[in-house]
Amino acid sequence: MKGIWCFILVIVIVSCKKEKEYTVEDIQIINGYWQISDVLYPDGSEKKYSLSGTIDYIKLDSLKGYRKKMYPQLDGTYLTSDDAQNFYIVKKASKGFFINYHNELTSWQESIIYLEPNKFYLESAEGIVYRYKRFEPINIYEDGKTSE
């Protein structure tokens, strides 16, 4: 019986753990090149992306920026179109930071739920979680050596 109460106490303590609160400075981490690693759906299913021909370039200045699809090339360069999705980030009291997108056709919002220098997670209003990892290009020179 004593063991059960200890187990319940541990569960209560773990479930009450406060989530990390990010700052405006922390949000600047999302600047740069990112590739999607996997998507988690509300029903528990998951889709992994081992290789993708596109990556996202995110440029953030203060709390405004844009996101652009890039196509990495083997020589270390990128192809892209002139299309960019503008966004702005807002902080909602005790709910964290949200990325707000708007274009001529629609608008939507994603919540930043996890953030560290080499990965971040976004959650859509539908409960879909997108996991990103920092993109590391493979640069192959004509002599067959790769860049460091």
Are residues 107 and 101 in contact, defined by beta-carbon separation less than 8 angstroms? yes
Output the pTM of the full model. Answer: 0.77
What DSSP assignment string belongs to 85-111? EEEEEEEETTTEEEEEEE-SS-EEEEE
Residue 93 — pLDDT band, cuts 50, 70, 90? confident
CATH architecture observed for domain 21-134: Beta Barrel (2.40)
**pLDDT-based confidence at 140, cuts 50/70/90?**
low
Predicted local distance difference test score (pLDDT) of residue 74: 79
**Residue that is written with structure tokens 């909602």 in the block:** 92
Amino acid at 16: C
Mean of the per-residue pLDDT values of the chain: 83
Please check the confidence at residue 35 and state whether its pLDDT lies above 90: yes
> Pick the residue with more confidence: 30 or 20?
30
